[in-house]
A and B are shown apart, each in its own frame.
Chain A
Amino acid sequence: MTLLVENLPAFMSAPLSLLLAEDAPALPAPIPQWRVAARDGHWLMMAQGSASPGPALPLPAAPGGLLGVIAATTPAWLTEWPGEAPALLADGTALAGLLAARLLAAEARVGDMSASLVALRAEQEEARVAMASWLRSAGQAPPQAPTLIHADTPDASPVLWSGVSTWRRSLPSEIAGVTALAVHLKAVAAGPGSVLGLRLIAEESGRLAGAWRVPGEALHEGWMTLDLPMPAPPWRETAAVEVSIALAPRDTLALSVTEGLPALQVLRARGGARFQHSPWWLEQEAGRPMPPSGVWCSFPDDIWQGATRTALLHGHGETSLGIPSLPLAGYDLMRAVLRVSGGSDVQAALSCGGRGTGWVDAQLDGDIALSLAISPEAWPAAPVRVALRALGSGGAVVEWREIRAARSSSGANAA
């Protein structure tokens, strides 16, 4: 006689179940119970209390959740049982004993799991500390120049867009280490009501590695580069880019395309080797802070538009260097390095957002290093000025060598 089960899927997916021999009483316990009885030349297993049998299937293997069989004597159908026979339980008392043993074992497992979790959390906390420390120290080094790893050649004819559009494309590049994306704009006539959005996505898992939202007035023709604050995590997945455009009614944008999709460039840097201020970074959406705290970040090249990058200083004269608008949102420390050539006794004073360093002398190597705590008044952007003066009769040429900013992890800015 074959052992058939009515509603086999329910039997096999029950976390707990109990079998009842034909003459065994049902137990008043919140455990699904199945009674086995002879019917039409088969052994039929039905849920206790089931009104009429539905379609039944042979039992292919023992179910995972079975506690045992309530039976006074070994039922004949147990010979049909696939694999090791379940435990025989004489009555509810025997079941209680079994459940108690299970409970004790489960509690022991919970204890084990708790102890394991504690150890794992401690290990993870140490890893977090180590990672943060490494990030800060990595951020001290000059940024690594990025490498172009993917570059489309824009088609001759751009596509003129209006309204709202979205594209998504997978790139033949790994997402790990991606440090910047560039999209090519052929013509721009857009104001504050329009927005270009970009998202960098790990294609396989769907995880987001970057998100930017560029207002219409910041869009410019040519390759528009959007940096990640730091290179994308070492995810071994395909880089996918989503480009969305939402244009105000009379705005237009001509996006360069290749084979019908937005033309893109992808740049990569070594993990932890390039920290970059990214003005249009959507920190909340991307799920990663911008900028990473305690790390010196560079600024995109477009800060130099309209800036005075080099100054000629005459003997006993004064002049200045300046950046018209530096995006400083979130930063509370600024560091500038100037290079002085052809002269001596040059002093410099950095000022921004109502704060200043006072006069600082050149170092022995000729550079002048200036550090300034940034006032929140300088957020989101403020002009930066460096006053220069020559104390001696010799003149000098002074130029920017570096300007970087950091978010203090210790809240030093408050002082």
Chain B
Amino acid sequence: MMNAGDVTIACVIPAYGQPGLLPEAIESAMAQSLPGVAAVIVDDGCPFPETQALARAACARHPGRVHVLRQPNGGLSAARNTGIDYALAVFPALRAAYMLDADNRIEPHFLRRALTVLEEGGPGTGWAYPDIDSLGMEDCSDTSGEFSLLCLMQDNYCEAGSLIARELLETGLRFDTSLRQGFEDAEFWLRAARAGFRGRYVPHSGFRYRRRAESMLADSERMRPLLQEELRRRNRDLWNPRRILEMEARELPRHALLLAGGGPVRLFLDPAETDREISRDAFGAMLGRARSDPAAHHVPAVVAIAEPAALEALARQGLLHNAFWFASVLLRHRRVAGIVLDEAGQDRIVFRHRGGSLEDAQLIFLRGQDMASEPQRLLADLAEGDTWRMNLFMPGAPEATGAAEAEARAALAVPAEAPAAPWRRSWRVARSTVADQLYASVGVCAPWPRRRSGRDIAIIQPLHARGGVERVLLRQAEVLRGAGWTPHLVVTERAEAELLPGTREAYETINFFPGFGPEGAPDPEREYFGAPTAAYGHDPNSVDGLGLLFGMDAALITHSLAGHALAARLRRFGVRCFMGLHLAERGAWNQPVGQAFTGLAYEHAYEGALVISEQLRRWCIGQGWPASKLILVPNAPGYESQASAVARRVAGRRPRALFLGRLDAQKGLERLSQTIRASQDFIEWRIAGKPVLDGAPPELGIEIEPPADSAGDLDALYSWADILFLPSHFEGVPLTILEAQRLGCVPLATDVGAVAEIVTHGQDGWLLPNDGTCTAEALSALRRLAAEPALLSALSAAAIERLRGRGWAAMMRPFLERLETP
């Protein structure tokens, strides 16, 4: 007779409709070599009286070891829960409970081995799970390897027939009684893992699972897609790609890095961090294990072989994360990829990628599982140039040495020694692909390999040249950084960027979209009132873009079609998306065009929009934007000035006029040209800028100076000039006007966009009509200012006064407040 106080393991056996098989389950529990095993049979309202009779017979045969409970039918989960509650209540020395289905069996040493594994696992070990050896339809399935929650999410490999620690059960965790179609075990393990517990594999356990042509399992398998969706729904926080990223870093690091020249191998998700360092020998053993059993043993999906100088150069330019992200993308196209760094001068980053040799690559990326399984094939790829090559032109690129390729060849030349594979059937996918499959299941590819800071914000732009919008965003990024946010520059539609002074300091990283899809292309079939919308939204490559951005906490998307296309999906992943709006433009027929109109097609996808002027705010409200979604962030000067503001005194000399900016048609170049030609005798002119959109520079009659970027150059220009001339056809809130005013340079500008919000005609500047009289009016104004130095001086002083205290920190306050509000 066994006393309740002697019971250490309770085998909970739900009984319903299996009276013929029940005794096998009971007897296999009673035959355990571990002492202190009791059976708790929960008759789940079984309609067959044999069940009760057989259970009673087992009570008589094993005094004190078989406990029988009968309850109205509630399903498998309810019966297990009843048995668990009972065992916890009546067995004071209980160490664990084992879930044994009435038609399954366990071999005599099962519980002894499982308990050893469970208790040797240390705190937090919640359950011990077996291989699955089927009875009847014979099949032996391997579940070996370190426990991984990611693998469990990908496919449940923890049988319900697992030994569950008392510690876990005492948290109150029970099987979900509403899941009566199956997968209740998977759901239980997922909740246990969310509660901080983990499973542990029991080798050679001897679990016998009865597999028949028709069973509850067969029913569940038919409903697998539905049930899996249900699992995801109930555990939405787990299937969030950000959570997957955290788990990937912890469980299945994406990258291994071998430095050319030797040294230990770094394993990590985030190339700026090292999660673990192992010796080359240990890495060889890792490859060997993954070769022999990819499902049980992880090898990083991407093995990088790099020259240290290349990594340092990429890190200096904030390109390290983008380079490793590209590795995941490029390795989808070839087994081997690489990056060749080339010098591009101080202010440009350009990339191109295509197939080609990697002889001179400073970084080489290999598919990790292929490196483990078929290194000779990768070696042949390298030798034959069947690889994907990216040329990255950037400042400070180190010289090519060929060391990375030599290191790659050496690493591939000696195949890893593989231990014997398990004899059981391996049915799970390779561990190196698990995370990617989970990302794919939520519509994401190639996650950006950076651990979240909790305050990462992507500043997303279609291109990055030296335009006003780039300057505005740079200043905004600086303010965000000062407020504790980490801005990241993302360029979506061009494979190049021109860096402004301060770009590297303001942005933590610089990132480009990959160039495999139609990132900047409109979809002609889906215009919104004639405004273009993004073709990228329907393109399969958009999942890469999502991968790059889902880890952000917020995104400010300005004029990027690809960015708009992703906004709604990003918001579902918890990224707070804001649209940046600068102006509503006019086309060649004076028709309304531009980003503000495209933005209307995506308004619903955004939490809010930053507008730079009151005029634009009202325009947006008129177009249907909810007023409370609009955040007014007026522009401020585009750089930090070192010069002193001085009101102009031009007596005794010709006034000096300056045009500064893009030499594109929008800027009214024909007006500029005519005005210069007609005023050169009484105005001294300088032009600084270059065409960005429209090709060759125009003929203006005077020498064109290169664009000024640095604060010093800009200060020198604005300090030199008395008048800033800006005869644009359309504008938003031009930074040049604000910058000029700040230093006492009087703006003479067309009354377009929100210019009137920053220039009061005749007080601190001069407004011109945006029509056929513009040039005549401009000449008239210039003549008057030349003739009346006192007027110019007064306008200059008023301009200085107007700009006093107008800085980006103040302008950005409403947006920062919005960001800080959950």
Contact = CB atoms under 8 A, between A and B. Distances in A.
Interface stretch (A90-98, A199-207, A324-332, A370-378): A199-207
A128 interface: no
B65 A238 contact: no
A122 interface: no
Nearest to A82: B71
B420 A172 contact: yes
Interface string B38-74: 0001110100011011011101100111111111100
B242 to A, nearest CB: 39
Contacts of A206: 107-109
Interface stretch (B82-90, B380-388, B461-469, B561-569): B82-90
A171 B71 CA distance: 46
Given A12-B90, A170-B203, A65 B107 contact: no
Contact of A173 (B4, B66, B91, B423): B423
A10 B67 CA distance: 8
Interface string B589-617: 00000000000000000000000000000
B206 A8 contact: no
Contacts of A53: none
B223 interface: no
B84 to A, nearest CB: 11
A61 B66 contact: no
A204 B206 contact: yes
A214 interface: no
Nearest to A57: B89
Interface string A249-286: 00000000000000000000000000000000000000
B627 interface: no
A317 B206 CA distance: 65
Contact of B59 (A60, A64, A170, A236): A64
A316 interface: no
Nearest to A66: B70
- Give the size range of A's interface with the partner: 35 or more
A84 B71 CA distance: 8
B107 A204 contact: yes
A64 B3 CA distance: 18
Interface in B393-427: 419-424
Nearest to A60: B86
Contacts of B204: 170, 203-204, 237-238, 240
B519 interface: no
A64 B52 contact: yes
Interface stretch (A13-21, A292-300, A346-354): A13-21
Interface string A60-88: 11111100000000000000001110000
Contact residues of A: prevailing secondary structure? mixed
Contacts of A345: none
A109 interface: yes
B423 A13 contact: no
B57 A15 contact: yes
A173 B419 CA distance: 12
Interface in A207-243: 236-238, 240
Nearest to B135: A236
A13 B42 CA distance: 12
Contacts of B63: 13
B59 A61 contact: no
A221 to B, nearest CB: 26
A407 to B, nearest CB: 31
Nearest to B2: A13
Interface residues of B, number: 47
Nearest to B89: A57
Contacts of A361: none
A401 to B, nearest CB: 36
Contacts of A64: 41, 43, 52, 55-56, 59, 68-70
A82 B43 CA distance: 13
B193 interface: no
Given A9-B4, A61-B86, A64-B59, A204 B70 contact: no
A255 to B, nearest CB: 21
A203 B108 CA distance: 11
B207 to A, nearest CB: 8
Which of B70, B71, B423 has most chain A Cβ within 10 Å?
Answer: B423
B422 A60 contact: no
B72 A236 contact: no
Nearest to B33: A206
B820 to A, nearest CB: 51
A13 B64 contact: yes
A106 B52 CA distance: 12
A8 B49 CA distance: 23
Nearest to A172: B420
B803 interface: no
B82 A60 contact: yes
A204 B89 contact: no
A105 interface: yes
B66 A13 contact: yes
Contacts of A399: none
Contacts of B107: 204-206
A266 to B, nearest CB: 10
B133 interface: yes
A65 B68 contact: yes
Which of B41, B55, B82, B140 has most chain A Cβ within 10 Å?
Answer: B140
Interface string B90-110: 110000000000000001110
B108 A61 contact: no
A150 interface: yes
B138 interface: yes
Given A8-B90, A9-B91, A236-B133, A63 B64 contact: no
B22 to A, nearest CB: 12
A15 B58 CA distance: 8
Interface in A305-346: none
Interface in A140-161: 150
A174 interface: yes
Interface in A30-65: 57, 60-65
Interface of B: 3-4, 41-43, 45, 49-50, 52-53, 55-57, 59-60, 63-72, 82, 85-86, 89-91, 107-109, 133, 138, 140, 203-206, 419-424
24 contacts: A9-B64, A9-B67, A13-B64, A13-B66, A13-B68, A14-B59, A15-B56, A61-B70, A62-B71, A65-B68, A83-B45, A83-B70, A105-B49, A106-B53, A109-B53, A174-B140, A174-B423, A174-B424, A203-B204, A204-B107, A205-B107, A205-B109, A236-B133, A237-B206
Given A82-B71, A173-B423, A237-B133, 11 more contacts: A13-B68, A14-B59, A61-B69, A63-B69, A64-B52, A65-B59, A83-B72, A170-B204, A172-B419, A172-B421, A173-B420
6 residue pairs, one from A and one from B, having the closest CB atoms: A64-B68, A204-B206, A172-B420, A9-B4, A61-B69, A15-B59
